[in-house]
Structure 1
Amino acid sequence: MATNSLGSVKLSRQGRKVGVYLSDLEVEKIAALFNLQARTIYIMKENDETAIFPGVSGRFPQLNIGATYEVMGEPVQDQASAASPPVSHHSTPYGAYPTYPQPGPSARKSFSLPHPPTFPAAVRQKVPGSGGYHKTIIFISLSSGSVIDSKAKSVPSYNVVTHTQVLIDSSSCKPSSVCQILSNTTGYEVILLDSKCYPLLDNPATSCMDFWKSTRKILATSKSQYEKLTGKKFTGTAIDLMNAEGNSDDLVSTSNASVELMEKVDRAVSFIEKFEQGIATVIKLFECPICKSILRDPIVSSCCQRLVGCKTCVSDWFSYGGTTCPYCSSLTSAESTRFELKGMQEFSGLLALFEKKDQDNTDRTSVVSDPELPPPII
């Protein structure tokens, strides 16, 4: 597997650490840097006893960006080393190797270091006639905490691991294409984020060269790390922002805010539907058995101990010859067997408002759906 050219790692030997680009991880360069015999070199990840050997090309396989690896190998035996003080020996699970003095500056002249930041030549080179643009991508490691930005908003905290540049042209000027380029190079799934750590999604605003040529900060991180820390599964769902402008700094935040808004609307609609069902149930319970409207000054009967109707309706019921309870049909006509339920005026008035609204909606539906009526004039 080819060694990727993005990012850097730290090489450690005898307490000395040096940051190097992944593209420079060749045994010949490492041998020159640490004054070791190239054929004996291998590395071990920090706090890990697993040995990693170079491939037939002299390069090391896929490594973790930002990780620290200890360099193992036998030093070069020359006249300078022969005249050096006695060496000490360091034991490892893979055998003992001698510790020699640090190499001088001349041993490091052919090795390029990532500080000050420069980008690999393979990424910076121009492609004739491509019309592409080199965009700086910042690789980050997300943290579980958060910080407050200049607009008093909570933004996930992160540590910058490294920088790189990607050549973007008209055929690859969208987040999914750039993610694919970075994923193919790093060997793991990468997602792009804006300065507030919102994922960049494919839409008309982010799929044009003007978006990538702007000065906005573009971050990149591991998809698995993002999902683990945020608890959200990244699907890369595209959002259509036909009216969005490509030079706005808040395009990505707006697209993600649109998704959150739609989720809130769905929850609100679900709540309203349940609320209306509950109101309909309450209205049915407080319906007068006589006039079929909301109870006004409700009367409770002693025979069934239920709401039997409005005060006016019950009085008319018995005034016009009724001898049974309007609810349970028990024989009762004495006024002492029923009493008025006080303190229900405001509640009855509130239910009447919902009943009227529901009735208006029913009337409009019946007018539109009645095939016998002519279509309304608009």
Structure 2
Amino acid sequence: MMQRNVLIADVVDGRPQTSRAVTVNFSDFEASVPAITAKVVEALGQEETVVLIDNHGNQIVDCEGTRGSAFWKQHARKVSAVPEAQFELLRNNKRRRESRNEDTHDELRENLEVVSSTLKNLTKFIQDNPVTPPLSRRQIDIIKNAFTCIICTDLMKDPVFAECCRSLLGCRGCVDQWKQNQGYCPKCRGPAFDVHGHSVVGLDEALAALQLLLT
């Protein structure tokens, strides 16, 4: 027999809030969503059924990938149970967040396109006008700070932005390494950073121009 803990949660303000945990015993034959769900309900001593979800709030469905002990004996994989009646609230809130995130992506994409174009135009202007007065130290610092990796402190390479604080963070390589060891945003310390950090496409050329401008 094998064991695993299942977190018991209620949906509060559209998000699962854990109140306790139950331990279920199961055999390899019982390692499936229906069997684990039934064991959780039995452990709770109630008739109301529950829905099993992962740490992102997605329903764990019965399929080939979730059948067998290989899936269920991985204790690093957090499994929670929420009342079935509350799961629809969780799903609706998740859809609203995803819709807002998509709006944020569109807005950031537009802003980044403007920034990229401005940087390239500024660099071209300085190259075409060598007698142009140089930028002040304060102006240079403002530009460098906006595009400096928060982790390695160099100019960003393959930049990444975060939805949680709606700002550029740093190099893709630095951020990927950060995510392997930390679960929060390196800038605002927001949780669930693994789903909030995204690459920014189209800034590499502008950042290369910026490097020439600042050297």
TM-score normalised by length of structure 2: 0.39
Task: Report which of the two has the higher share of helix.
Answer: 2
Larger Rg belongs to: 1
TM-score normalised by length of structure 1: 0.23
